[in-house]
Structure 1
Amino acid sequence: MIARALLAALLLCWPFAAAADVAVPPLSGRVVDQTGTLSASDAAALTQRLKDLETRKGSQVAVLIVPTTQPETIEQFSIRVAEAWKIGRKKIDDGALLVVAKNDHKLRIEVGYGLEGALTDVTARRIIDEIIAPQFKTGDFTGGISAGVDRIIRIIDGEPLPAPKPEVSHSVDPDMAFNIIFSPFGFIGFLAIAGISRGLFGRLLGSGVTAGVIGAVFWFLLGSIAVSVGFSIFAFILTLFGDAIMAASQAASRNAGRGGSGWSTGSSGSSWSSGSSSGSSDSGFSGGGGSFGGGGASGSW
């Protein structure tokens, strides 16, 4: 476990051979299914319900099902899609997006600024945990998506969720914790802690302080002493010798550049070749210019 975690952190910190991000699919309708999960009739029924919502309330909701979002997290991919599709009315920002990454077993509800008061982060998380994920776990993707969309529509219509059941856990989700830790923000946070500690306490003592802070963060988020100790050691070494490692890396890059060798990675964005997408009968649909700020929730099954 510790070895795998250390390897993941090392790969994060070593900026070589970056993989291309998955391309944002075109907005071909309110329901875009790149996996063939939904039948044509199910996609059409879902599309009609979303059309009715827009006619009645003006709000726009879209569903996207993809095989994977790798190498990005579903949070990074979903906000890129939301920003590209611009679901919701301009300056009202009343859009919502349900993204399902089927092979990754991840999903997310992305919420526009204008809906954050009704479809809060907590509400979105409950919809995922209590309504969608349980059906996904049984293999009923159509039922889970339909029930989740129905609940989102009812929330937009002003119907609150019932009181949460006592047994529902709101503890830290290990998957979410790892997404936070191994995100660009997590890495930037580590660099800030290391820089401040070394500046205040010197190289050796500052490395120890950084190791203690990183260990405490991992213990709080993951609840594992073994993992926190492992990452404390890694943080100590990286803080102590990080500048030397980066200098050696830069020197190697300059030498490689003088040698004239290199490799081409092709296009900057990869895409899936999955044939037609569900929702083609809704091809006239387009986003209304809505804006998103990262509100919503993620989950897994």
Structure 2
Amino acid sequence: MMLFASFHVQAELVPIPTLQHRVTDLTQTLSADQQSVLEQKIAAFEHEKGSQIAVLIVPTTQPEVIEQYSIRVADAWKLGREKEDDGVLIVVAKNDRKMRIEVGYGLEGAIPDLIAKRVITEVMAPPFKQGDFYGGITKAVDTLIGLISGEQLPAPTKQNNQGSFTDFLPLLLIGGLILGGLLRAIFGDFFGGMLNGGAIVMLALFFGVGLFIALLLGVVAFVLTLIGPAGLGNLGGGMYSGGHSSDSWGGGGGGGFGGGGASGDW
């Protein structure tokens, strides 16, 4: 009987949502515009500093207390960089009137428990009491950004600026058609293709594309020059069929959490 009861409680735990965005609102408290502004603010800071901040709003964490649920989410989402552990998670349980700031290992010096508690009681709680959840969360994010900005952390990598293959298809097509056609007319198919491919590689590297992607773009530019405009129609249909842009954010970076932070209510 006790085993059955334990299993029943475990089965009713609030599920952890999939991390797809930096701001996840399961209560429809924030408008789409508000979520977008917060998302852009946090994303800009992440690109500049490398640290990751995420906001999660849920109706309730029961039967768990917010500390139990928050650390489960933090362990699953793994915010922050793997070796720096510089992630922060803000959890708001709206119906419970509870909130928590979960701080990664690497930021416990910049955001000690006492400071996290003050952010909750002095920054978040007053707007929350007035029903201004967006204002409270925004002020908390701004405060946390200020605290993290003063911490000496390694600079973020250039990974997010390298882009994917589909991100640079317009560049490839422009180079392959315009420049490639000109070089082909002057130097012939093969040498024109070689020059066009090399130019595309150099241009891609100049814009911060990774070496592998740049070389791949160069090869395709070379092929486009060889086949010319006549063969592009058949090739283009295959390149664009079913294509769509994807979310450029890779989610959590592997950061660790140990229960640092603070909780409160309003």
State the aligned residue count: 167
Q: Aligned runs of 1:11-22 on 2, under 5 Å?
A: 18=9, 20-22=12-14
CA–CA distance in structure 2, aligned partners of residues 117 and 70 of structure 1: 30
The structural deviation recorded for 1:43 is 0.6
Counterpart of 1:21 in 2: which secondary structure? Answer: coil
Q: Which residue of 2 aligns with 1:102?
A: 94
Match of 2:137 among 138, 141, 145: 145
Higher RCO structure, 1 or 2 (CA under 8 Å, sep 6+):
1
Which residue number in structure 2 is paired with residue 48 of structure 1?
Answer: 40
Which among 248, 251, 256 is matched to residue 291 of structure 1?
A: 256
Which consecutive residues of structure 1, in runs of 5 or more, have no partner in the other structure? 1-13, 160-280
What does 1:213-224 correspond to in 2, within 5 Å? Answer: none
* CA deviation after TM superposition for structure 1 residue 83, in Å: 0.3
The letter for the 2-side match of 1:93 is: D
Tell me the alpha carbon deviations over residues 36-79 of structure 1, each in whole angstroms, 9 at most, x when there is no partner. Answer: 11111111111111111111110000000000000000000000
Alpha-carbon separation, structure 2, partners of 1:18 and 1:114: 33
TM score, norm. by length of structure 2: 0.60
CA shift, 1:114, in A, is 0.2
Whose Rg is larger? 2
Cα distance between partner residues in 1 of 2:250 and 2:62: 27
Shift of 1:285: 3.9
State the distance in 1 between where 2:13 and 2:143 align. 31
Look up the equivalent residue of 1:286 and give its one-letter code: G
Shift of 1:91: 1.2
Percent identity at matched positions?
62
- The answer to whether the aligner puts 1:124 opposite 2:116 as a matched pair is yes
Aligned-partner residue type, residue 14 of structure 2: V
Letter in 2 for 1:114: G
Q: Residue deviations 1:3-22, cap 9 Å, x none?
A: xxxxxxxxxxx979636211
Q: 1:46 aligns to what SS in structure 2?
A: helix
Q: Which runs of at least 4 in structure 1 moved beyond 6 Å after TM superposition?
A: none
Matches within 5 A, 1:149-188: 149-158=141-150
Q: TM-score, normalised by structure 1?
A: 0.53
Aligned amino acid, residue 94 of structure 1: D
Q: Deviations over 1:103-130 (max 9, x none)?
A: 0000000000000000110000000000
Following superposition, the deviation at residue 283 of structure 1 comes to: 7.0
Q: CA RMSD in A?
A: 1.8
